[in-house]
Structure 1
């Protein structure tokens, strides 16, 4: 009974071992590809491994962006056929060497899988490449409105690593783009307010290392604060002056005014009143004239001396 149980356990162990061996072999066969890393702008050349004389060579390209690309070369007719491949991907022919695939000035769009199948007099041979394209970032260093250094590594693939010298407190953020690149922005916040110093931003990337230096902390920050404080003080003084002027006019605006004698206004007489005042005088004169005429006539009629006129 015990021996039978041991046989069953041994059989299961052998079965599991065989399955694991088959799985490992299949994985190794399926992953028979080479990793190729290139930087944007380079021109890699991919070759095939084979034995014997080539009769036909086929390249199949599966990029991350775009459609499938194939290039087929027939040695017997010395002809090459291509379908939906970009202009910078071509077969090159070198003396005493088999055709190779060249990617002129590789870009992010050419990243993907490249498979070569060579049919020779000794059989078929397969070679695979996985192409990864790196994009170096664009470095820029500036000072923000607060006088803090800001370092930007734009459109890098993979994302760049930023550091500061001298070391200090900093904040970083990343922004991803549709083409797979990443922009990293770092702000240095540990600025000294007493001694001006040069701050250096260092960028580390698989495509290279770069650095830039700037001196904007704390000098620019102090100047900005001085202008801000001067502006605030000026505004406060103007407001206080305006309030004082308004208060002064309100205080002296309610004093009693000095009584001044109004100008004498001449009485206004209408034309009718003047006529009324003139008419009695005219009547009187007329009466006097009548009396004088009567007396004159009487004197003349009696031949009396004019100086002996009777009294009226």
Structure 2
């Protein structure tokens, strides 16, 4: 009786698949995350074989046979493997997933009730890199780089005079840029809103940074700093030169010998013009007792 019910259930399941066609599964995963693709639900009967395939020129084949307990892997990345045990739940795991993994996958299960097939379509989402800049003419540019799909860009406050550009990259990502001019606006800030399936970002920019006075202030400040620095350096070198000259003059003649005797001046003329020291002054000259000012 139990066998009859199992056969009837398998027959009904097979009939539904024939009428409705193969099941189809949509999977969306962000790049760098884990993608798990499921196999079809089958009647509770012993598994004979399960096979994963990808539709491409060099197809990936991942198969398991329960009778020989054998696993076969052909042209598959190391990032692709069973999520669980293939004989209990043969889901496919891809980690980390990238744009190159995008495509269609099929899981086929064979058991005593027949062959069961499930198709999965994997879509990889790539969050964009968002930047907001402004030039001196007060034209703001909001850029969402290398996103998949392309991001939507809007402005706060809303403006109908914005223009957009798109660049499509070979890997399927898209860079979108929105430009808007705020020349006639007195708004102090502008806000860019980027909407994407993987992320929503809001960036604000201070429009005062584009004021033409700022470069002149920067130039004036730099000139002032340079002038002060130049005067300071001049004073330092001048003082050093004066000190060196003074030291040089003071050390030109040796002094302070041990038995140094001075000759008193006889008159004012001699005092004003001291005579040249005679050799007798240095009669007790000792080189070790001479000191020089350096």
TM-score for the superposition, normalised by structure 1: 0.58
Q: 3-state SS of the aligned residue for 2:62?
A: strand
Bigger Rg over Cα: 1
Aligned residue for 2:182? Answer: 190
2:65 aligned partner: 74
Deviation at 1:223, TM superposition (A): 3.1
Give the secondary-structure state (helix, strand or coil) at the position aligned to 1:109.
helix
Alignment check: 8 A CA contact 2:52 2:106 kept: yes
* 1:67-146 mapped onto 2 (5 Å cutoff): 67-94=58-85, 97-146=88-137
Structure 1, 133-142 or 43-52: larger mean CA deviation: 43-52
Partner of 1:147: 138
Cα shift readout 1:265-309 (whole Å, capped 9, x = no counterpart) = xxxxxxxxxxxxxxxxxxxxxxxxxxxxxxxxxxxxxxxxxxxxx
1:61 aligns with 2:61: no
Matched position secondary structure for 2:100: helix
The DSSP-based 3-state class of the residue aligned with 2:138 is: coil
Residue 163 in structure 1 maps to residue 131 in structure 2: no
Q: Deviations over 1:25-81 (max 9, x none)?
A: 999526x31121111122121221222221111000125xx7211101111222211
Q: Is the 8 A contact 2:137 2:183 kept in 1?
A: no
Rounded Cα–Cα distance in structure 1 between residues aligned with 2:19 and 2:179: 46
Q: TM-score, normalised by structure 2?
A: 0.61
Shift of 1:117: 0.6
Q: Kindly indicate whether the alpha-carbon contact (under 8 Å) linking 1:196 and 1:215 is maintained by their aligned counterparts in 2.
A: no
Kept in 1: contact 2:38–2:92 (CA 8 A): yes
> Which structure 1 residue ranges, 5 or more long, are not aligned?
1-24, 228-312
Deviations 1:179-216 (A, max 9, x none): 011000111213445x3411111001111211111112
The answer (yes or no) to whether the contact 1:90–1:103 under 8 Å persists in 2 is yes
Residue in structure 1 matched with residue 164 of structure 2 by the alignment = 172
1:92 deviation in Å? 3.0
Report the alpha carbon displacement of residue 221 of structure 1 after superposing the two structures with TM.
Answer: 4.2
Q: Equivalent residue for 1:304?
A: none
Distance 1:141 1:226, change over 3 A: same
Q: Is the 8 A contact 1:148 1:216 kept in 2?
A: no
Unmatched 5+ stretches in structure 2: 1-16, 218-294
3-state SS of paired residue (2:32): coil
Structure-2 separation of matches of 1:103 and 1:141: 34
Report how far residue 99 of structure 1 moved.
2.1
User: Higher helix fraction: Structure 1 or Structure 2?
Assistant: 1
Aligned CA RMSD, in angstroms, stands at 2.6
Q: How far apart, CA to CA, are the structure 1 residues paired with 2:93 and 2:32?
A: 13
Q: 1:170/1:221 Cα in 2 relative to 1: closer, same or farther (>3 Å)?
A: farther
Deviation at 1:133, TM superposition (A): 1.1
**1:115 & 1:177 partners in 2: Cα distance?**
28
Q: How many residues matched?
A: 198
